[in-house]
């Protein structure tokens, strides 16, 4: 079978685009350590704090390392495991939440530093009966410092899927 020059170029172009399309739809699995910029040790993002006696809560005091973000993750399609702290709850589930690295963060303990917290929005609500499960969240990550009712977050993620984390 002989291919014309046009057919050969068209076929080669289609095959060269194929791996990029496949890779674009495959999330990169990251860990919480990946949220810290290279060269900044975890021990340098933890701060001291003070007790707010009026509200009976611990207010952490972080230095500038706690708000340094890993800029290489900006715009990346990622998958990360964590726990949900709900922000926007409705009868059909949770549409926005803070993803935290360990169970009870921000509720029973002082919040982690901003570069260890991810503000997540999702079009498909996460069922509130699964609130205490560890989850995988997949979507596009963006470095974005912002304040929530729960804590200051360093990243935002527009999730296209949330699923139970399987041990």
pLDDT tens string 24-60:
589 999 999 999 999 888 777 776 777 778 877 667 7
Ordered DSSP codes for 56-101: TEEEEE--GGGG---GGGTT-EEEEEEEEEEEEEETTEEEEEEEES
CATH homologous superfamily of domain 28-164?
A: Protein of unknown function (DUF3299) (2.40.50.870)
What does the pLDDT average to over 60-82? 92
Question: CB-based burial of residue 100 (10 Å sphere; 0-12 exposed, 13-18 middle, 19+ buried)?
Answer: buried
Average pLDDT rounded to a whole number, residues 151-162:
95
User: Is-contact 60 47, C-beta < 8 A?
Assistant: yes
Task: Look up the pTM and report it.
Answer: 0.77
What span, in angstroms and rounded, lies between the C-alpha atoms of 48 and 42? 14
- Collapsing DSSP states into helix, strand and coil, what is residue 37? coil
Residue of 75, 78, 71, 72 whose CA lies nearest to 25: 78
The residues pairing with 156 across neighbouring beta strands, listed in sequence order, are: 119, 142
Query: Tens digits of per-residue pLDDT, 81-128?
Result: 999 999 988 888 999 999 999 887 766 567 889 999 999 999 999 987
Q: Which two tokens stand for residue 120?
A: 């997540």
Q: How far apart are the first and last CA of the chain?
A: 51
At 130 the pLDDT is: 74
């Amino acid at each position: 079978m002989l291919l014309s020059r046009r057919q050969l170029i068209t076929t080669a172009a289609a095959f060269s685009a194929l791996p990029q399309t496949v890779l674009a739809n495959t999330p990169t699995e990251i860990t919480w350590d990946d949220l810290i910029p290279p060269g900044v040790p975890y021990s340098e993002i933890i701060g001291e704090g003070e007790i707010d006696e009026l509200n009976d809560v611990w207010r952490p005091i972080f230095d500038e390392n706690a708000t340094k973000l890993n800029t290489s993750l900006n715009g990346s399609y990622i998958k990360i495991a964590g726990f949900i702290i709900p922000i926007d709850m409705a009868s059909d589930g949770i549409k926005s939440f803070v993803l935290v690295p360990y169970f009870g963060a921000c509720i029973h303990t002082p919040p982690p530093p901003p570069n260890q917290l991810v503000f997540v929005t999702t079009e498909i609500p996460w069922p509130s009966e699964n609130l205490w499960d560890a989850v995988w969240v997949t979507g596009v990550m963006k470095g974005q410092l912002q304040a929530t009712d729960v804590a200051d977050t360093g990243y935002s993620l527009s999730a296209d899927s949330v699923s139970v984390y399987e041990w």
